[in-house]
Structure 1
Amino acid sequence: MVVEANGTERHVPTEVYSKGGKWYAKINSMTNSTYALIQNNVSFTDTTGKWYAAVATEMASRKVISGIGEKMFAGDRSITRAEFAAILIRALGLPADGTSIFSDISASAWYSGSVATATQYGLVTGKGDNRFAPDDYITRQEAMTMLQRAAKLTGYMGTVGSLENFTDTGSVGTWAQGAAKWNVGSGLIVGSGELLRPNDNISRAESATVILRLLQRTGLVDVRTEA
């Protein structure tokens, strides 16, 4: 992790592996900083028996996503556009700084720096009319678009797949067609049976899972949990 000048901590994607009887840590960073290795064990009281329990623990232990309240993960809760952008740049190890260009984000908003960084790196473009709609729940196709952009930022090209096995592809926006095919082909989003559900909101558990898959596919972190 990185400890910023103001004392805040920032996750840096790290691959830990064993070679020749020794353990190594490969830090994958897009910025220059001073790094420290830490052990951060996190557990939640509401993930026992849930399909996402291991993912929630790993992503929280990596300081990518935080819980809600006292040891609660709230995995089924929908996530906002601002929250998803913040988690995504945190996962990539990018600093949340700068000033947002969007008219509906005040400089004092907790996510202002995160959205500014996401904009700077081309992960988000807004909703038009200079708005970002930070408090709107993010849809699955919006998340897919951001995930593809994030992958390209790391140099990972992935695989373009087909949507022909889904019965609701007519609901995928023209602007999200390419991202949807890429996410399916690269195995980040697999859908629910015959449904891709592009306009459904994505939950905290689903967000943690697809972002962990992104980190694993791009080789930024080691595979400890099968996401």
Structure 2
Amino acid sequence: MTRAQLASMIARALNLGASEKATPFTDTVGKWYEKDVQALYEAGMISGTDANAFAGDKVLTRQQAALMLNQVIEKHGKLGTLQTAVKGDNSFAKLPTFADRHKIADNAIIAVARLENAGIVTGDDGHFNPQNELTRAQIAKMLAGVLELTGNM
């Protein structure tokens, strides 16, 4: 599963369309997923790997998927009980319970916690495995959970 594939799945599931504006991501121009990425970017539901790159052909990790799906939840205003108390020192108060939570990137820790608290991610034998690639079955489960939570299913 790539970043582009998940972006397209999200954009199509939410029936998002892109304007005719130029995309800030120079690496998506002319690609099959250009309009889907642009639509998500315009909706504030996606960011690139930097200001000018989306890296759509890169394999998607579990923590990258959590970040992307968390942005969908945030934009739909569905945080409610998913709000996670975070201490300023990033101690794991009310954060993920996974045994390998220390391996989750700082920018992804809250996203993973929200998805875990909602039952959208459950891990494997007590581990989240943040750098592992996602299978289609795993992303289908995660996306279905987010769509249900946001009322889009």
CA shift for structure 1 position 96: 4.7
Q: 1:118 aligns with which of 40, 44, 49?
A: 40
Is 1:95 aligned with 2:17? yes
TM-score, structure 1 normalization: 0.58
- Paired letter, 1:118: L
CA shift for structure 1 position 212: 0.8
Q: What SS does the corresponding residue of 1:93 show, helix, strand or coil? A: coil
CA distance in 2, matches of 1:204, 1:96: 25
Q: 2:95 aligns with which of 162, 166, 173?
A: 162
CA shift for structure 1 position 123: 1.7
- Paired letter, 1:115: V
Contact 1:89-1:96 at 8 Å conserved across structures: no
Runs of 4+ in 1 over 4 A off after TM superposition: none
Contact 2:24-2:51 at 8 Å conserved across structures: no
The Cα offsets for residues 129-186 of structure 1, whole Å up to 9 and x where unpaired, read as 52111100111111111111101222211513532x3221111001111111111111
CA distance in 2, matches of 1:214, 1:207: 10
Identity of aligned residues (%): 29
Is 1:104 aligned with 2:16? no
TM-aligned CA distance change 1:197 to 1:97, over 3 Å: farther
Whose RCO is larger (CA < 8 A, sep 6+)? Answer: 2
CA distance in 1, matches of 2:40, 2:26: 16
What residue in structure 2 maps to residue 215 of structure 1?
Answer: 147
* Structure 1 or 2: more strand by fraction: 1
CA shift for structure 1 position 206: 1.1
Unaligned 5+ segments in structure 1 are 1-78, 222-227
Contact 1:96-1:116 at 8 Å conserved across structures: yes
Kindly name which structure, 1 or 2, has the bigger radius of gyration based on alpha carbons.
1
What residue in structure 2 maps to residue 199 of structure 1?
Answer: 131
* Structure 1 or 2: more helix by fraction: 2
Provide the aligned length of Structure 1 versus Structure 2: 141
The alignment yields a C-alpha RMSD, in angstroms, of 1.6
- Equivalent residue runs for 1:25-174 within 5 Å: 79-96=1-18, 98=20, 99-106=22-29, 108-128=30-50, 130-158=52-80, 159=82, 160=84, 162-163=95-96, 165-174=97-106
CA distance in 1, matches of 2:129, 2:52: 27
Contact 1:96-1:113 at 8 Å conserved across structures: yes
